[in-house]
């Protein structure tokens, strides 16, 4: 074999090695992924949903308070001789709560009454003598002043006697009674705590971004932690925000004929405006590559379409969302396995 033959053989061997290596490396590369349009159609379960008119709400957490919460205090001192109301009793304005001992008050009143009679006679005599020229104007003024002082003393003892009978200043319920028979009380000592729970006041703090949407007189739905539901109206909106939370205090007044308890947590739903929305299950929601929350539907060509949505209202069974066509075929099962633009085979629950 000559030199030229050796050279040809070497070149052919090199080309053979290169061809084998190129096949080896090509086998390691994954096959190109088919586009959504090239994939075989996948079965997905769909449901036809239509828009309905729903009301948007501002939802806030709050708590309930009594319309009036009053601590009745003693206005005179004395020993408790009688109690007329127990804890939990309903009372009307003027009903008796506690009575204090009279002690010498009746005797002091009789003395004050006698003094008034005496001072009245003195004044009449002074005026008669002045008319006859035997009494000066100054003496008459002194007699009149003495009569007024006697009348003031009589009024004071009468008020003190009235204060021995401590009464309810309003209609309500006796939440607590701080004294019993035999206790001695001084002026300003607490006697009883009265609550007026009808109407009921529900207080919540509304964010500054939403406060302009709240108006006085607007109807509010209230759900108490006890499971009870009430309906009330916005009666007060704070003009200044809380410095720490930047929220505004909102008070809602609701009739409470059943006397539901105060101090419990409450959820307030303040209605805003009405919008066209669709009711969907949270399980039907998907997340786009951009981070948008939405749902996947099937168009008239059986291709997957992604629709971003905005949550309007949530409840136990699902949520109301906007941003969808009035009527559409929504993918309810299989939406996590298909992509936008992909052709699918839509089936219903009946299918």
- The residue extents of the domains of the chain are 42-55+276-347, 59-67+196-273, 69-191
Q: CATH topology of 59-67+196-273 equal to that of 69-191?
A: no
pLDDT score recorded for residue 141: 87
Q: What percent of the chain has pLDDT over 70?
A: 87
CATH number of the structural domain 42-55+276-347: 2.40.420.20
Which of 25-34, 190-199, 330-339 has the highest mean predicted lDDT (pLDDT)? 190-199
> What pLDDT, in 10s, does the model give residues 6-40?
545 655 665 565 556 555 444 455 556 655 555 67
Q: Point out the least confidently predicted range of 5-14, 196-205, 227-236.
A: 5-14
Task: Give the model's confidence band at 271: pLDDT under 50 very low, under 70 low, under 90 confident, else very high.
Answer: confident
Other CB atoms within 10 Å distance of the CB of residue 202? 27
CATH class of the domain at 59-67+196-273: mainly beta
pLDDT score recorded for residue 35: 59
Mean pLDDT of the chain: 88
What's the gap between Cα 42 and its chain centre? Answer: 48
CATH number of the structural domain 69-191: 2.40.50.100
Q: Considering the entire predicted model, what is its pTM?
A: 0.66
CA distance 188 to 178: 13
Other CB atoms within 10 Å distance of the CB of residue 243? 6
């Amino acid at each position: 074999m000559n030199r030229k033959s050796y050279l040809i053989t070497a070149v052919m061997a090199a080309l053979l090695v290169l061809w084998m290596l190129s096949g080896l490396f090509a086998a390691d590369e994954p096959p190109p992924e088919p586009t959504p349009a090239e994939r075989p159609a996948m079965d997905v379960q769909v449901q036809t949903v239509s828009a309905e008119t729903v009301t948007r709400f501002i939802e806030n957490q709050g708590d309930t308070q009594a319309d009036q919460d009053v601590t009745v205090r003693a206005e005179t001192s004395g020993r408790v001789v009688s109690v007329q109301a127990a804890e939990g009793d309903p009372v009307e304005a003027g009903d008796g709560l506690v009575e204090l001992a009279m002690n010498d008050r009746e005797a002091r009143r009789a003395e004050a009454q006698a003094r008034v009679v005496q001072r009245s006679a003195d004044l009449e005599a002074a005026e008669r003598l002045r008319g006859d020229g035997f009494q000066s104007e100054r003496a008459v003024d002194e007699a009149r002043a003495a009569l007024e002082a006697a009348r003031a003393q009589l009024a004071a003892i009468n008020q003190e006697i009235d204060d021995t009978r401590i009464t309810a200043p309003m209609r309500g319920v006796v939440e607590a009674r701080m004294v019993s028979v035999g206790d001695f009380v001084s002026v300003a000592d607490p006697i009883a705590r009265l609550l007026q729970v009808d109407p009921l006041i529900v207080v919540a703090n509304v964010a500054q971004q939403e406060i302009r949407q709240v108006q006085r007189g607007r109807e509010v739905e209230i759900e108490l932690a006890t499971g009870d539901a009430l309906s009330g109206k916005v009666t007060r909106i704070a003009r200044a925000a809380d410095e720490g939370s930047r929220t505004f205090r909102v008070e809602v007044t609701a009739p409470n004929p059943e006397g539901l308890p105060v101090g419990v947590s409450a959820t307030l739903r303040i209605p805003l405006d009405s919008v066209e929305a669709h009711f969907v299950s949270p399980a039907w929601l998907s997340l786009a590559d951009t981070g948008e929350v939405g749902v996947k539907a099937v168009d008239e060509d059986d291709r997957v379409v992604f629709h971003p949505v905005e949550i309007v209202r949530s409840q136990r069974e699902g949520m109301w969302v906007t941003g969808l066509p009035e009527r559409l075929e929504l993918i309810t099962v299989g939406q996590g396995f298909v992509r936008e633009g992909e052709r699918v085979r839509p089936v219903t629950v009946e299918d």
